Every structure is written in C-alpha cells, then in structure tokens.
Chain A
Amino acid sequence: MVKFNRFTLDNGLRVIVHEDSTTPMAVVNILYDVGSRDENPEQTGFAHLFEHLMFGGSVNIPNYDGPLQKVGGENNAFTSNDITNYYITLPSANLETAFWLESDRMLSLAFSEESLEVQRKVVIEEFKQRYLNQPYGDVWLRLRPMVYKKHPYLWDTIGKNIEHIADAKIEDVKAFFKKHYNPQNAIMVVGGDVKLEQVKELAQKWFGPIPAGEKYTRNLPQEPQQHEVRRETITAKVPVNDVYIALQMPGRREKEFYAVELISDILSRGNSSRMYRNLVKDKQLFSEVHAYVFGSLDKGMFVLEGKPTEGVTIEQAEAALWEEVELLKTHEVPADELTKVQNKTESTMIFSEMSLLDKAMNLAYYELLGDANLFNNETEKFLAVTPAQIKEEANKLFRKDNSSTLIYLAEQTND
C-alpha cells in the first residue's frame, strides 16, 4: 500500500506527494502526456529526440545537468509510444534545486540550434547502436507496421528511419514544445524524505507562475481489428533463426488486460512456465522462448518469440508455439497454475515497494491512467482473474487471422 496526497495547481499541473521517511533522498518524477503516438507520420522519432533536447538548457538556466550534479543529484528520462518521463533523485535537503530546474524547462527551453545539431547526431548513433548494429535489432521497425496499419504505434519511438531525425528543424522543436510541454499535460510526483506542506509551497513558488498553455486534445486514428494472416520472412546477418508472432491485444485500461498479461506469465514467466518447460526443456525445440505483452494505452501487442534449435524447421517451430497457445483455448488452466502466476504478480508488487523511484514512476503512470490509487488496487485485479476468463481471452487473442509473423532466417555463410 503506497500512501500519497494529491493537489492541482491553478494552471492544471497535477502534483502527487508520497512521504517516505526511511530514506534521506527525494525523487521528483515528471510525466508528460506525450509519446511517439502523438507524432506527425512524416516526422517520427520526434518525441524521443525532444527528450534529448530537454537537457540542452532552458530559458533561464543554460545547463541542466551541471547544477543538479553539483547538489548530489542524478537524473534520466525515457520516451515510450505513450509517455515521456523525466526523473531526478537527490538528497532531500536539496529538493528545491529539482523544482528550480524542472519548472524552468517546463516554462521554456533555450531552443539552441547547436544543441539540436548535436542531439540529432547522438540520436542517430543511438539508432545505429540499438536498432541497426545489433542482431535482430530492427525487429520492432519491421513488426510494428505489420501489427498496426492505421494507429501511430506503427512506428517505434526511435522513428521510422534516420532521415526523419536528420531533418528535424528548430521550428518543429518549438511547435512540439508549445503543443505538449505545459502544466496541463504533466503529472509531477514528489516522493521520499519530503513533507506535503513543503511540496505545496515549492510547487506554488516554482510551477505556479507557469502559464497553463493550450490543452492538447488527442484524436488518433484507432487500429481496426485484424482479420487477416500477416507474415514476412527475411534473410539477415543473424547467427540463428528467430520466430516472432505478434497479436493485437486489449489496451492497458481495458478490463481484459489483466487476464491477457497473466496468459503471458503462464506461458513464459520463470522456469516453471509452460513454454520454457515444454519447448525448451522437454521437446528441446527452442534454445530460448518468450511471451510478453506491450501494455500500451491503446490497442497493444502480445508477442511470442523463440529461437529454434539447430535442425528444427521454421514450420515445426511455429507449429509448436501455436500448439501451446491452442491448449489455453481448449482447456481451462488448472487453479493451482493460475494461483502460481497470481502469487508471483502479488509478490512482485510488494517487492516494487522497496524502490522509491519505482513507486514515484508508478504513481505518475496510474494517475495518467485515471487515478494514482489504481496502483494500490492493481494486485486485486490480477487476483480476481478466473480460469474461465483466461480461456475466453485466449480464444480472442490466439487466432491466426489476428497474427503477424516475422521470421528471421540466418544468412548461410561459407565459413
């Protein structure tokens, strides 16, 4: 149970305070309600590039990192398809420094051409390092446009291609800031060795004067339900074959989400999971196999993935994956097995309360989902899932005409 208080400033900034006196540290986590799904299809990768630019100096403070490091603080940020999240950890005695820095960059950035120039290069190197220069690194660049035909989830947060990043202009950066970076589109969580009254005062002092800005109204094309088998096979410079099967699944706020996530746990969480035991250990068809979900706010992806062992054909590998999921459609999962994955979910939630930063990030995210207190009710929802619901969701999910299959074939070499 994570306790917190909440208030909203006149300009619309939502603030959540979580007091935790067991630590000498404080965290300030700011979630902006903008992700790569909000990008122009001709300027993809922008939300993430923008995240980099948020560290390039703000209107009154030329350097963001230096002053924070000087007071013993650390920070980082990440961008997903749905959100952009910035966080600071620092000794609680220096909490005000975080308010000073974060409020100034919410007020306005420096918009320096030089910083844009360098961050374009850095992000292009990131693109190469993580997506192009790694075996299977381009998987999401290939699979997303198979699963999504209309919804902007069809591109990855890094962007569709390097050119979109290389072409970014300072006017685009300014327009993006104006549209998304204002108090109405942000949720701030302050946690750790802090007091509610202190946070109220600091929030009013530093964030209160920031203009509310314009409210961004999201109106994204929704992805129609899939009714066709999609597949692609590529020969690539990879050491072993790899099979990916992606299926459309309910969004994060749908009530069906909980059963679907537990399905992924039944299939592949830990060494007692079905796919690991049957396909890796007993039948030895795969060297590794995984099932996982993308808990996206709009329609998500459920992914089955496996690297077949030598001598196993792609057809055999695919058939084996489908055989496992067929079982979930035809037979109710035994009560003990469901209890097992539910217990694991429950203990994971308790373990996550050991980390202040995790708690702060979760409170911000659940507030975005509608109410920070959903974080505290999450376990119950997983515990309430029944074997019948698992079967029902498996039947909706695991249809061939809901699948996008991507096969990597290892290029044959002569050495």
Chain B
Amino acid sequence: MTNTLNRTLAPEFRAIENINLLRPEKKSLANGSEIFCFNSGDQELVRIEWIFNNLRFDPAKPLLNMAANTMLTDGTASLTAAEIADKIDFYGAFLSVDYGFEQSLVTLYSLTKHLDKTLPVVKDILTNSIFPQKELETFIRNQQQKLQVSLQKNDVVARRTFNKALYGDTIYGLTAEVETYNTLQREDLLVHYEQMYQPSNCTVIIAGKVEQKALDLLAATFESEWKNQPAAADITQPKVNHAAEHFYFVEKPEALQSAIRMGLPFINREHSDFPAVQVLNTVLGGYFGSRLMNNIREDKGYTYGIGSGITSYKQGGALFIATEVGADVCKAATVEIEKEINLLKTELIPDDELALVRNYMLGSLLGSLENVFSHADKFKNLYFSGLDYAYYDRYTQIVKTVTADELLKLANQYLNFDQFYKVIVGKY
C-alpha cells in the first residue's frame, strides 16, 4: 500500500468559508461605564479590561498619559504599592497596566473563585490612587535608566525617528528624552487621573467563563462608589502634522547592522479600501513568505527578518517597512525594497501568489481566534475604530475576491515611494 503514496502531490485542501466571531452582550452601569461580556470557555477564569481614552496631549507635559497609567499600581489612599502587589499575587491573579497611544488599560486576569478578593483592589486603584511622591521619584529614575538602554538599540531609535517625522508633536510622535521625565509632577498626575479615570470614560470588557455571579460582583463593586466628575474627560487630540523632511540618517560608526524603517501616512481601518490594502501589504511584507522576506532574507541573506505592516489610528494610519540589515548591505537593501514596491505598481500579482495570500490571510484570521480572549480582542479593534461586525464580513469577502487589477490600481494610488519617509540608523 505504501508504494502507492505519491509524496510529490499535495493533499486536497479546502478554502475557509466562513469565520464565526463571538459577539458580546452589552450592559451599562448606572454610573455610565459600559460592560461588554464574552462568555465562553471551560477554565474557571476571566480576563477583565478597564479601557480609558487618553486625555488630550499637552506638549508641555507630554508624559502624563503614560505615567498616570503606569503608576496606577503604585499606591492608593488605603493600599501601598507593596500591599496592592501582595493582594493580587496571593490569589494567583495578574494585574497589568498598559499604555497605548489612544487608550490606556487596566487588565485583571483572575480565577473566578477569587474575584471577590481581586476586584476590590482594582476598584481601589481606579478610585483612590494617590501617586506617592517617593514612588514617582523611583518611577522617573528607573524609566530614565531604561530609556538609556533602549536608546542604544538601533531599531528603537529608528522607530522613534520615524514616528516623530510622521506624527510631529503629538502623542503618536512623542520621543521622550531623559530630561523629559523631569517634567512629571505629582499635582499634575492627580488632576490628570481624576479627569481621565472616571466611569463615563471607561469601557469594561470581560471575557472567560463569566457567570451571573461574577457580573453581579463587578456591578456591586464598581457601581455605587465610583462617580463621574463634573467635567467629562477631554479626549480630543491635537491634529497630526507630517514633517517636511523625508530622509533621516542617524549615524552609528561602529554598527554591525543598520536599522531601516520607512513608510508613509496611510488610510486607517475605517476607510473602505483598508481590507484590500491589507492584502497588498501581506503580499509585500506581511507574512513569512512575503516578497520582502523572499528577496531580502531568503534570496540575498541580508537580514534575519524584514516585514511591513499597517497601523491604524483615529487620525489616520501608517504603512511601514522595518528591518535590520548587515551594515555593508544597507544601501543595497533599500534599493531592493524600492524595487519590490515598484513591482507592485507595474506588474499584476500572479494568480498563484494571490490565491496563496488569500488563504493565508483567512487561515491567519481563523487561527488568531484561539480562545475567548482573542474574540474580545477582535471586538476591541472594531469598537475603538467605530466599526461593527459587518467589517469582518466585508474583510473576508474582499480578501476572497479582490482582483489583481484592483490591487495594481491601489498600489499606484497608495504606494508612492517618493513620498516615503526613510530612516536609517547605523551605517549607510
């Protein structure tokens, strides 16, 4: 029987037909915060996220959003930083704070049976944080030291330089220096905290094995004593301005490798072309078999890795290409990158390649739905872009049907290499 096995022939396969996304149940608390609930899974645990829109960026005090979020676990009127950590760790829970350009998060992972012990700690940090002066000083000193280490990394410097060029003096373009940390004042943090961390600026997402008891506990813990301030949070942001200069070279004479980051302002998720340009991006540098990887890693061996991506923010997105290449082949690599972009604009993507990319993208979407947390993450993408679940229906439809002709047109419309911002850190 075994001699009939033909190993040169691929087994038959099926394309992915549909992708089922779990949708949340929505509840509102009397204090104005909204709760979205994803109930699924066998493990007796939940993840709860409290998500707040950042306040308007103030160039004179640029670190407030980040510092207020990061220091939430550093002490309240009733608990020291050490006590907060003790209470959370003792119950095997995980409490983290995550600062993003647009939202800041507080996330709790907890076994369901311990929610009655862990939720009150979260309530305390959201209602009673005091940003102790001593903790602030420690925070500033440690952040300054971490920054010094990061600034030695070429890829970090390239990303900062790129963001600054694309987004200017805004929360997206901020490139804090060691001195910038000295602008942080406790009084400013307290004012910021009070305005930002109020129920009307909060979206709660709970995912896992969510029983009614857990929801009741959540409501009971947060509804009564967490009040809104007289003034709503100012979550508008200054307008982004792109720099006039498009080329940046930061020389590091002893570099073994150069970091390259290039790209341009781009459409965001809300734009109707977004799913189609994601197909284009995947072809270019969005997966392991992409053109950039094939050419610059697998064919030339210039790099360990190269990729492209599209970021989507409220005020627009960015398409970027990033890599670290041997310092001696940096120029050659940029020439190849330009070649690959021009190819997308002049030649139709062959059928085989496009079919592969379609299936890869759908498989990747299906595979990204690993558990109930990932379903909640997909919802976050939609909700904070002001979209609904029709987006993913349209996304899968377009990935399946967009034609090579359309992609060629889109490449010409969106990928003008002369408009690219180019950053090199290392040798050129």
Contacts and interface: CB of A to CB of B under 8 A. Distances in A.
B413 to A, nearest CB: 26
Given A121-B301, A209-B2, A129 B145 contact: no
Interface in B362-410: 362-364, 366-367, 369-371, 373
18 contacts: A25-B366, A60-B7, A67-B10, A69-B287, A70-B360, A72-B367, A74-B364, A91-B366, A91-B367, A122-B301, A125-B304, A128-B326, A135-B149, A271-B73, A287-B146, A288-B145, A340-B90, A351-B109
Interface string B341-368: 0000000000000011101101110110
A112 interface: no
Scoring B13, B86, B360 by chain A CB atoms within 10 A of each residue's CB, the highest score goes to B13
A125 B5 CA distance: 40
B288 interface: yes
Contacts of A284: 138, 141
A354 B43 contact: yes
A350 interface: yes
Question: What 7 A-B pairs have minimum CB-CB distances, sorted nearest first?
Answer: A72-B363, A121-B301, A347-B92, A272-B85, A271-B85, A343-B92, A239-B148
A1 B363 CA distance: 28
B232 interface: no
A339 interface: yes
A388 interface: no
Interface in B295-328: 297-304, 324-326
Contacts, number: 221
B45 interface: yes
Given A70-B356, A132-B256, A133-B257, 15 more contacts: A25-B366, A60-B8, A65-B288, A72-B363, A90-B367, A100-B7, A122-B298, A122-B304, A128-B257, A135-B149, A239-B145, A270-B85, A271-B82, A277-B82, A336-B90
Given A65-B289, A239-B151, A350-B45, A343 B11 contact: no
B14 interface: yes
Given A72-B16, A272-B86, A125 B360 contact: no
Interface of A: 22-25, 59-61, 65-67, 69-74, 89-91, 93-94, 96-97, 99-100, 103-104, 107, 117-126, 128-130, 132-135, 205-206, 208-209, 237-240, 269-272, 277, 280-281, 284, 287-288, 307, 309-310, 336, 339-341, 343-348, 350-351, 353-357
Interface string B255-266: 111000000000
B92 A118 contact: no
Nearest to A70: B356
A126 B304 contact: yes
B37 interface: no
A130 B304 CA distance: 10
Nearest to A24: B366
B177 to A, nearest CB: 13
Nearest to B3: A209
Given A22-B42, A129-B257, A309 B141 contact: yes
Contacts of B245: none
B92 A356 contact: no
Interface string B124-160: 0000000000010010011001101101111000000
B325 A287 contact: no
B149 A346 contact: no
A74 B257 contact: no
Interface string B1-41: 01001011011111110000000000000000000000001
Contacts of A357: 370
A72 B364 contact: yes
B93 interface: yes
A89 B370 CA distance: 11
A288 B257 contact: no
B338 interface: no
A125 B325 contact: yes
A287 B145 contact: yes
Nearest to A307: B145
B249 interface: no
Contacts of A65: 288-289
Interface string B223-261: 000000000000000000000000000000011110000
Nearest to A73: B363
A206 B371 CA distance: 30
Given A125-B325, A209-B2, A355 B360 contact: no
Contacts of B184: none
B13 A71 contact: yes
Interface string B82-104: 10111011111110000000000
Contacts of A25: 366-367, 370
A70 B356 CA distance: 4
A365 B15 CA distance: 32
B376 to A, nearest CB: 12
B146 A281 contact: no
B81 interface: yes
A165 B113 CA distance: 52
A260 to B, nearest CB: 19
Nearest to B148: A239
Contact of B142 (A125, A129, A135, A287): A287
B111 interface: yes
A181 B389 CA distance: 46
A107 B145 contact: no
A406 to B, nearest CB: 17
A413 B10 CA distance: 60
Nearest to A341: B89
Contacts of B257: 125, 128-129, 133
Most buried by B among A277, A343, A355, A356: A343
Nearest to A99: B11
B296 to A, nearest CB: 10
Nearest to A336: B90
Contacts of B111: 347, 350
A309 B135 CA distance: 15
A402 B370 CA distance: 44
Q: Which of A65, A129, A355 has the most CB of B within 10 A?
A: A129
